[in-house]
Amino acid sequence: MDSTALDCDVLVIGSGAAGLATAVTAAHHGLQVIVAEKAEVLGGTSAWSGGWMWIPRNPLAVEEGFVEEAGAAERYLCAELGRDRLDARQLAYLHHGPRMVDFFRRHTRVQFFSGSRMPDMRESPGFAPGGRSLCARPFDGRALGDWIHKLRPPLDLISLGGMGIAGGADLTHFLNATRRPRSAVHAATRLYRHGRDRLLRGRGLHLVNGNALVARLLRSALDAGVTLLTEHAAIELTRYANSVTGAWLQHHGRPLQVVARRGVVLACGGYPHDRTRLAELGQQHHSAAPESNSGDGLRLGEAVGAQLATDLAQPAAWVPVSLMPRRDGSTGAFPHLMERAKPGFIAVRSDGRRFTNEADCYHDFMQDLFASTPEGEQPHAWLIAEAPAQRRYGLGAARPFPFPLRRFLRTGYLQCGATLAELAKRCGIDALQLQRTVAEFNQHALVGEDPLFGRGGSAYNRAQGEPLHGPNPSLGPLTRGPFFAVRLLPGSLGTFAGLRTDANARVIDQGNQPIAGLFAVGNDMASVMDGHYPSGGITLGPGMTFGYLAGLALAERERA
């Protein structure tokens, strides 16, 4: 067929953090790298994420004095994964994670700050109260030049007019903007700068969270001479003498052959929007990932004999979502990551009963919802807030004061009742049971206790709560109407089932041998944690680490 051709040492298919980490590492070691992205913008799910990475014994933590006991992280993962010992990939992750951080700090624009007070999600043996998490530092988008317009903007549903808000001090200031003059000045300054940047440059330039991570990787890739192609979908891998040697891409209907002398890296973001595969695996849900993450990497790998791992504890990183109608007629999945742990909130099923500790991690919240849902019934729940809590923290896409609620009430996204009984009627919840549940919850919440599920009892619960609230930062009664609710449905931040790989991210074939020249990273790689979710940052941490390892392996590999 008529086509043009490009050649390189390494072709990376996909432009999330894992793919860009591979590209930057390989280019730093002297390789010629092309990154092909099928969407119009770069960054994948990573650009929408919180940007956190779980890297035990990372250099920033060590510099702050968080020197872990040898083997503590291994014990924690063994307990969380139900293993007696870790496998080769898990050991490689723990061993090379700190080296990955050191490499990017020393040789690229990727710089981090430490989440030294962010505890592990569960208090299993080897638990750490902090020092294992880190995130990219905020980044000035002007450093990208015109490439800023190729960076995927923050997710509209959770950003403030396209402005990302970082966890920690930044978020705290916004939540306290109506309470503290210093916080009001901080929020006003951020909003002014964002508005000015949108007016002059068409988008915000103070980048935070996953947007900052991708921007830093993107700048590093450009500095290293990586070629970046958008709107180039990979349609087929090419092979010669049992080695993957490149791929056919398609750009606006025209084919383009890319010859990759060292190999091809699949980094397409898993299959959260591949409805056919989701149906085959019985995993229908609403994903918060971009629509372009539709399983390309898995299909490309399977076509050349790769193994697909589906024997995992869970097939996806579960999160409760609410479906928000957009102004353009589309519907977005809002991930509920924060407000569930704040005082003044409670979650119930339609029977009016609680089913979980609302302040536990989103993955656990959903597993408890699945477990409590009768067979044959669609899993769903209602997240309920009293008026002061909604006005203080927001409820899903319905933002806190001073933002109005009319649109959310008009579309039915947000339900409201002057009393709990009225709210229950609107939502189809058992009204008598809901009133009994809230009354019992309130009685114990007033003294900072939750005898039913232990909410607020763990370091993680308390860290997610309200530090200014006592006696328990995660517990507060629901007493002041009107009361609000949103409907929660199964959602995901990404998929766990993926291509089997070895400790160097090489894809494994049906005979349990590496496929020469083929690598997989990010969510195209089967979950390093066997489908478990031990702590926040357990997707980007392995993504960055195995991207780094894939880049090193490609630099050492002889040309095909």
216 contacts: CB under 8 Å, gap ≥ 6: 108, 109, 110, 111, 136, 137, 139
Give the residues across from 491 on adjacent strands. Answer: 286, 319
194, containing H or E segment:
helix 181-201
Question: What is the C-alpha separation between 290 and 380, in angstroms, rounded?
Answer: 23
The CATH architecture assigned to 317-492 reads Alpha-Beta Complex (3.90)
Residue with tokens 């067979």: 375
Largest CA distance in the chain: 74
pLDDT at 164: 81
What secondary structure does DSSP assign to 456-507, as a single string? Answer: T-SHHHHHHS-TTS-S-TT-----SSSEEEEEEEEEEEEE--EE-B-TT-EE
The DSSP line for 401-466 is TTS--HHHHHHTSSEEESSHHHHHHHHT--HHHHHHHHHHHHHHHTTT--TTT-TT-SHHHHHHS-
Angle ∠(159,154,520) on CA atoms, nearest 5: 140
pLDDT at 559: 61
DSSP annotation of 346 reads: E
- Cα distances (Å, whole numbers) of residue 8 to 147, 167, 237: 22, 39, 15
At residue 355, the pLDDT reads 98
pLDDT of res. 200: 85
Distance between CA atoms of residues 484 and 382, nearest Å: 10
Which pLDDT score, from 0 to 100, does residue 557 have? Answer: 74
Domain spans of the chain?
165-202, 317-492
Burial class (CB in 10 A: 0-12, 13-18, 19+), 281: middle
Per-residue pLDDT of the chain in tens (560 residues, 90 and over written 9): 445 789 999 999 999 999 999 999 999 999 999 999 999 999 999 999 999 999 999 999 999 988 888 899 999 999 999 999 999 999 999 999 999 999 999 999 999 999 878 899 999 999 999 999 999 999 999 999 999 999 999 888 877 778 788 777 777 877 887 888 888 888 888 888 888 888 888 888 999 999 999 999 999 999 999 999 999 999 999 999 889 999 999 999 999 999 999 999 999 999 999 999 888 887 788 988 899 999 999 999 999 999 999 899 999 999 999 999 988 888 889 999 989 999 999 999 999 999 999 999 999 999 999 999 998 899 999 999 999 999 999 999 999 988 899 999 999 999 999 999 999 999 999 999 999 999 999 999 999 999 999 999 999 999 999 988 989 999 999 999 999 999 999 999 999 999 999 999 999 999 999 999 999 999 999 999 999 999 999 999 999 999 999 999 999 976 65
Q: How many other CB atoms are there within 10 angstroms of residue 488's CB atom? A: 25
Closest by alpha carbon to 29, among 546, 552, 384, 560?
A: 552
Q: Which residues pair with 54 in a beta bridge?
A: 133
The answer, as to whether pTM is greater than 0.75, is: yes
DSSP secondary structure of 245-308: EEEEEEETTEEEEEEEEEEEEE-S--STT-HHHHHHTT---EE-S-TT-SSHHHHHHHHTTB-E
> Bridge partners of 24?
none
User: What b/e string do you get for 93-121 counting C-beta neighbours within 10 Å, with b at 16 or more?
Assistant: bbebbbbbbebbeeebbbebebbbebbbb
Nearest to 119 by CA among 63, 163, 56: 56
pLDDT at 42: 97
Neighbours of 368 (CB within 10 A): 19
d(CA 238, CA 240): 7
pLDDT, residue 378, reads: 92
Burial class of residue 412 in the structure, from the number of CB atoms within 10 Å of its CB (0-12 exposed, 13-18 middle, 19+ buried):
exposed
Task: Please tell me the total number of residues recorded for the chain in this structure.
Answer: 560
Burial tier of 523 (Cβ tally within 10 Å: 0-12, 13-18, 19+): buried
Cβ neighbours of 419 (radius 10 Å): 13
pLDDT at 1: 42
Alpha-carbon span 437 to 428, nearest angstrom: 16
CA angle at 206 for the pair 464 and 390, rounded to the nearest 5°? 35
What's the pLDDT at 3? 58
Q: Is the dihedral of CA 525, 526, 530, 532 positive or negative?
A: positive
pLDDT in the model for residue 165: 80
